[in-house]
Structure 1
Amino acid sequence: MTAFTVALVLVVAAAGLLQWRRPAWYWLTFGVTLAALRVLVRYASVMDACGLTVPPSRWRLALARVTNRPMPDSRPPRILRFRPTRTGLVLRLGLRPGQDAFDVAAASDRLRHSFSMYGVTSREVRSGVVEVRMTGYDVLKRVQMPTKLDMRPMLVPVALREDGSVHYRDYRAVPHALTLGATESGKSVYQRNLVAGLAPMNVALVGIDCKQGVELFPLARRFSALADNPDTAAELLDALVSRMEAVYQLIRAEQRITADVADAEIAADIWDLPEHLRPVPVVVLVDEVAELALSTKKNDPRRDRIIKALVRLAQLGRAAGIYLEICGQRFGSELGDGITMLRAQLTGRTAHRVNDEASAKMAFGDISTDAVLAAIQIPAELRGVAVAGDSTGGWHRIRAPHTSLRQAVNTCNRHAHLVPDLPELAPFRPELPGASEAPVPLSETIPATV
């Protein structure tokens, strides 16, 4: 056996081992080159087989007849851009006359098989241009967030999408969101990633955790207010409504609508105000909405008070910089009057594994039937996998990187000095154990000043 043969066998063995144990490493070393060659060589024939070509134009046919040349072949979409990424390939295609972006989306599964890729998704960039993203391996099996992330204010990188791109929670674009998921579906990990991403930002965190605070109180050092029972939650929500009304008065006083002020400088929300006048934005996290909405009484004044406050915050809170992040296992009309009105105001929707189709319809029934089917097909062994969508009808499979409670606590402790001083929320500031009291393992290991 020659040295070349031995080296070739070793390279093939190494490639097979990497593909089995470290698919990301295999893709970066061998897979991206092989996949790029496979796509470029097969492109025309695959597009023809998938029905993504158009007949040659009449003038080309006439020119071929006049010059006695062979008839031209059908034309596939033009490749405008071809870019390898850390998880796959990105093709930007220019559609031919008569083609539609839906044609490419409908052929995604056939393209996946033809190009031997793990997944293929497409989206319309603009009229006549479609971006096709191909993934070379299962990026959701072992989530690894990229090192370069967009870190603009109120933009939180919270998960990885199945096409390899980062899924951001953009509060300025989608102010309010609903997160559903059954027990042990990964909903708590998603919430920890959200809190850990918000902790370094100039934002006030408000938590309502009626499960006696077991989810949010370990993170208390970074929270401006916390409630662990419905009575306190009702008072806290009333305080937030009062803050919202005060912020609206500030915006109205600073709108600057005189004739010499440019239209773009007229204030309509807190982000239009000068930085020295801008109130701190507030993110309200409700861990289990059913504990707030359910009641043993038919007409419960406390329950109606809570739902009314949440609806007002959802309808009016965006301009005042108050954003809702509501989590629960179910969010249906059985929770009582006003709950569907609240759900209609929650633009962002994320559903982890659910136990029945009705729960998935609570999240996506008014958005996309395809998203409903995707949500009910999440297997139980893939904790953390979810379907994220919004009111536009678009949706993605996502998975948040695993963040333990200890990691989230450490992040909140490191940024405890960023907790803003809000007089309206001062009565609800969580009480932290002092030095003379018994230590609390989840919050005392790392001091708040670290």
Structure 2
Amino acid sequence: MTTDTLLVLALVVVAAALVLRRLRPAWYWLTIGAALAMVRVIVRYASVMDACGLTVPPSRLRLTLARLANRPAPASRPPRILRLRPTRTGLVLRVKLRPGQDAFDFAASTDRLRHSFTMHGITSREIKSGVVELRMTGYDVLQRVQMPASIERDGLRVPVALREDGEVHYRNYLEVPHSLNLGATKSGKSVYQRHLVKELASQHVALVGIDCKQGVELAPLARRFSALADNPDDAADLLEALVERMADTYQVIRREQRISADTPDAEITADLWGLPDHLRPVPVVLLVDEVAELALFSNTMERKRRERIITALVRLVQLGRAAGIYVEICGQRFGAELGDGITMLRAQLTGRISHRVNDEASAKMAFGDISPDAVLATTQIPVERPGMAVAGDSTGGWVRIRTPFTTMRQAVNACTAHAHRTPVLEGLEPFRPVLPDLAPVELPAPATATKPATA
């Protein structure tokens, strides 16, 4: 080949790589980006660590030996690389800290490391004492959410979104039994709830819904719901029925404890999950849409109804975990202006998810008491990214996530396909949705082969 031909070919390859990086960043990363990023990190590692102040000066022993040997003073040492491996969205760099270094130094330097290594984002976490893991993302994984082809689903641990570091964000009811989901109109709050129902539809769990918007959000999914209330009056009765179910479950647990000297440790339980399989009631996930509609009132009758609702909700979130009752509360605002008992209710909601909100006060309702940084991150969610949210918990940890877009048709199909899993809950029969039978699907008649005409 001539020089001109090689130059044209090189320009075509570069142009194709740029177009691929623009239109299909995931494909670009898997084919070209990961290899280039690994070379870049290895070549720049020592200088970047030194520029970011993540090196340690030489020890006195090394200085003494250099002085005795009449050699130049040794340079500062960066942390030792334990492992560098690519992932489908970025790189994972694990380093061993030098004596005197702290994991907080790396957490505070993530922005400088991101710029120095030319990566889209870097998060830092301490694996164990003296070992820090840096998760780097090569492109904006939240711009076009693509969940992995194979996702682990295990009972009450279901995938709900994609994290900014490329990992899957799970909703684990056994670790975080109750959660609060805030978001303004068109922020993606309803899509998150819809996707959650779609994932729970295939699990062994009973779904109970309260949708005071006349059921427009949850009624289409009613084939998978064991109970559904679409107005505050029915919601009050439904919540009190759930409290009674919780009390009955505790009686079952008490009967089965039978603690004595010869009782094996494995058979002593204080919650629903320690019961034998044939006695264990089905766990219940309660989804409350637009919780403010349950707390508002305009007359004395509605005020009494509100007190019944808030009292039942507080009891469920305080005592329901051991009885296998988990609560998901959604709303646009959830502050003290909704009346007595709201702050007590919010304090029991360990999980916090906040989509885009209209003001800082709404973000503080979710994270003001646990993480000021999460409040700032919530107020920075752009309008053009519906479904993007900040997820945190009572420990103060938080991460940006984005839910994959789930249409109502996809959620309805999932609920219809798993309608046979819908259990009948004792005491909640009056609230079970009454639905017509599914229309039979008419399949086309099989084509019959025509025999050739014979003379």
Match of 2:299 among 292, 297, 300: 297
Q: Which runs of 5+ in 2 are unaligned?
A: 443-455
Give the alignment of 1:41-440 within 5 angstroms.
41-297=43-299, 300-434=303-437
* Residue deviations 1:265-324 (CA, integer Å, cap 9, x gap): 311111111222211000000011000011113681110000000000000000000000
**1:132-171 residue CA offsets vs partner (Å, 9 max, x unmatched):** 1100000000000112222111001000000101100000
Shift in Å, 1:434 = 4.5
Q: What is the CA distance between 1:100 and its match in structure 2?
A: 1.2
Q: Give the distance between the partners of 1:56 and 1:273, measured in 2 at CA.
A: 59
Counterpart amino acid of 1:30?
I
SS of equivalent to 2:36:
helix
What letter matches 2:88 in structure 1? Answer: R
2:20 to 18, 23, 27: 18
| CA deviation vs aligned residue, 1:64-119 (integer Å, no higher than 9, x gap) | 22233332211112212212100000111221122111110110000010000001
Secondary structure of 2:175 counterpart: coil
- CA shift, 1:260, in A, is 2.7
Structure-1 separation of matches of 2:164 and 2:279: 41
- Which one-letter code corresponds to 1:117 in the other structure? M
CA distance in 2, matches of 1:377, 1:211: 29
TM-superposed deviation, 1:256: 4.3
Name the count of aligned residue pairs.
439
C-alpha displacement of 1:262: 3.5
Residue 418 of structure 1 deviates from its aligned partner by: 0.3
* Cα pair 1:384 1:400 within 8 Å, conserved: yes
What is aligned with 2:453? none
Q: Counterparts of 1:27-42 in structure 2 under 5 Å?
A: 27-42=29-44
1:96 is paired with a residue whose SS is coil
Structure 1 range deviating more: 271-280 or 260-269: 260-269
What is the Cα-based RMSD across aligned positions, in Å? 1.5
* SS across alignment from 1:29: helix
Instruction: State the 1:445 CA deviation.
Output: 8.6
Q: Following the alignment from structure 1 to structure 2, what is the Cα–Cα distance between the partners of residues 54 and 32?
A: 29
TM-score (norm 2): 0.94
Deviation, structure 1 residue 357:
0.4
Cα separation, 2, equivalents of 1:215 and 1:445: 26
* Aligned partner letter, 1:134: M
Residue 257 of structure 2 aligns to a residue whose secondary structure is: coil
CA distance in 1, matches of 2:376, 2:244: 41
Contact 1:32 1:84 in 2 (8 A): yes
Q: Structure 1: how far apart are the matches of 2:86 and 2:204?
A: 36
Please say which structure displays the higher CA radius of gyration.
2
**1-structure distance, mates of 2:104, 2:73:** 29
Q: Percent identity?
A: 73
Name structure 1 gaps, 5 residues minimum. Answer: none
Whether the 8 Å contact between 1:234 and 1:305 is mirrored in structure 2 is yes
CA contact (8 A) 1:177 1:326 kept: yes
Match of 2:7 among 5, 9, 17: 5
Q: Please state whether the residue corresponding to 1:195 is helix, strand or coil.
A: helix
